[in-house]
Amino acid sequence: MPKKINKIVAPEKEPAACSDTECANELQKLAHAGTKEAVKKIEKYIKAEKDIEKRACAEIALEECEFLFYEPTNEKEEEEFMLCELIRRRERNVVDLIMKIGANKLRLEKLALEKKVHEKVIARCKDKREDWKYNWMMDFVIMEEQDLHKNEDEMAYDEAWVAEGKKMITTVRYKAIPVRHLEHFDFNFDKDFYDGCNDSCGCGGDCGEIGKDF
């Protein structure tokens, strides 16, 4: 793997014991091939296999095969591999923002209903009007609308960012790289390896403050 991407670490997994030696050998050969055809064959095997043990064995073989197939081989691929991860994070953020926007709109509906009831309460209980008039304020709606607009604007930007980012990926095998493959790596974009950490602490660089995903 090129030097620039050395900080990416794939997790170690215990190999599953496969009872069928012939099956295990075939899967191992496919895993070590690291080609598009090998990936497709293993995926087809996983889809058809009913035996849990054999399927687990095949899933580990698929991870190994994908690791070899998607591994960057030059600086251009290194950059695009990293871009794939940044796109994945933006897309995940878009999903989160959709949920937030939905919650904003629901709270605005709630506030509108509460306003109707509040107005009736104030009209009926005139002697408490001054004491209760601030139990519902337009400020509540303004704050929620501001948060809604902020989330909508952030989502629009992220969607535009993802669209442009995808256009920049020219490596064919990265155009449809599985999300599950990218999730196996720690890109360490936001870890400060020198914050509160020294060579003798044995933390492996995990003491540093971790910020946002992007």
Band of the pLDDT at 10, cuts 50, 70, 90?
very low
Q: Are residues 93 and 32 in the same domain?
A: no
% of the chain at pLDDT higher than 90? 57
With H, G, I as helix, E, B as strand and everything else as coil, classify residue 207.
coil
State the total domains in the chain.
Answer: 2
**Looking at the predicted structure, is the pLDDT value of residue 143 above 80?**
yes
- If asked whether residues 43 and 105 sit together in one domain, one would say no
Residue 36 lies in a domain: yes
pTM to 2 decimals? 0.71
Say whether both 107 and 126 belong to one domain: yes
- Residue 93 sits in the same domain as residue 43: no
Residue 88 lies in a domain: yes
| 191 beta partners | 210
**Is residue 20 a part of any domain in this protein?**
yes
Indicate the residue type of 161. Answer: W
Q: What pLDDT is attached to residue 180? A: 85
Any domain includes 63: yes
Average pLDDT on 99-128 reads 97
Token pair for 121: 């309460």
Tell me how far apart the 2 most distant CA atoms of the chain are, in Å. Answer: 87
**pLDDT at 34 (0 to 100):** 83
Residue 6 has pLDDT above 70, yes or no: no
Residue span of the structural domain in which 41 resides: 3-70
Asked whether residue 183 is domain-assigned, the answer is no
Residue 193 lies in a domain: no
What is the per-residue pLDDT across 200-212, written as a single tens digit (0 to 9) for each?
Answer: 555 544 444 334 4
Alpha-carbon gap, residue 148 to 54, rounded angstroms: 49
pLDDT tens digits along 45-62: 999 988 888 889 999 999
For residues 84 and 167, state if they share a domain. yes
Distance, in Å, from the CA atom of 107 to the CA atom of 145, rounded to the nearest integer, reads: 10
Higher pLDDT, 99 or 17: 99
Please tell me the distance from the alpha carbon of residue 195 to that of residue 176, in angstroms, as a whole number. Answer: 36
Say if residue 65 is in the same domain as residue 83. no
For residues 16 and 57, the answer to whether their CB atoms sit within 8 Å is yes
The rounded distance, in Å, linking the Cα atoms of 214 and 187 is 11
